[in-house]
Copies of this chain bind each other. A is one copy, B any other.
Amino acid sequence: MPKAKRKPLTTNVQQSFDLQGYLARQTATVNKALAGFLPKPTTKPATIHKAMHYSLFAGGKRMRPALCLAASAACGGDESEAMPLACAVECIHTYSLIHDDLPAMDNDDYRRGKLTNHKVFGEGIAILAGDALLTQAFEIAAQARAWPRYSHKTIFLEVARASGSLQLIAGQVADVEAEGKKISTNELKYIHERKTSALLCCSARLGGMSANCTAQQLKALTDFGYNVGLAFQIIDDILDVTQTSEQLGKTAGKDTAAQKATYPSLIGLEKSRKIAKQLTDRAFASLKVFKGKAVALEALAEYLLKRNK
């Protein structure tokens, strides 16, 4: 079947939409909301709350909350009603980073330019801080606005499934198990879909749900999140081999060192870049249903493709 000719990726989105300003504003709002949802770092037992705050406020890009809020905006939603879900996915993302960085897993000393959680608080507290952030995510998600078609039950199932043993955790397991092994691009795609795409896709879908989106809009957000998620991980792998540790704020070249299969190692840098671009094009295409109201989502997709850290 001949493929439909794709419209080339719009490259001037950022000129008409101030993404940096938008992201800075969103990050500040999300940080404030997160601080409001979490117990204070001084709350007893202080160690665990300090450890939770340490990683949650370590300067993350807040991409998942941004996706969630932008998806809500595309559906005409109220930002405050998407906020609990935006914060919940960020807690889940942060917990997964804390646990992935542990010596028993990726054994990383640095993350976002700072010492990893277990390097500061010790392994025991780092494991518990991850557990606590995961649990906190569900407590925060419970505070989301529900609708007849997107009940709390639907929302919880969405969050739990994207984070569970068939998605996010499956990705991490398969990733750890693939280390030092020769795997196919299909197997690598299986890992990326779960390790990265699942939670990004879930973030976009949750934003839509909080805005009581239509089935057509939810489908569009699913396609968008899935494709942007895959592109995001390919770019991550490309940056790992092309940037320095200083530029990334985390150890560069660690995929190669850990003999991890990546798109660049399997198919080369150029072909990897081409696929990331194709996936972003596909993500763009799915936004048509929003008839120009998805400017923030468009800008985010382009930023994720072109970022250098």
Q: Which residues of A contact B (CB under 8 A)?
A: 39, 43-45, 47-49, 52, 95, 99, 102, 104-105, 122-128, 130-132, 134-136, 138-139, 141-143, 146, 151-153, 156-157, 159-161, 163-166, 169-170, 172-174, 176-177
Contacts and interface: CB of A to CB of B under 8 A. Distances in A.
A126 B45 CA distance: 25
A195 to B, nearest CB: 11
A251 B146 CA distance: 47
A73 B169 CA distance: 36
A142 B134 CA distance: 16
Contacts of A160: 135-136, 138-139, 142
Total copies of the chain: 2
Contacts of A139: 156-157, 160-161, 164
A309 B135 CA distance: 30
Nearest to A124: B104
A165 B125 contact: no
A92 B283 CA distance: 37
A48 B156 contact: no
A49 B166 CA distance: 9
Contact of A153 (B95, B146, B163, B169): B146
B163 A152 contact: no
A48, A124, A169: which has the most chain B beta carbons within 10 Å?
A: A124
6 contacts: A43-B166, A102-B127, A104-B122, A132-B165, A138-B156, A138-B160
Contacts of A124: 102, 104-105, 176
A165 B142 contact: no
A136 B161 CA distance: 8
A165 B105 contact: no
Contact of A104 (B123, B134, B165): B123
A163 to B, nearest CB: 5
Contacts of A135: 134, 160, 163-165, 169
A43 B136 CA distance: 28
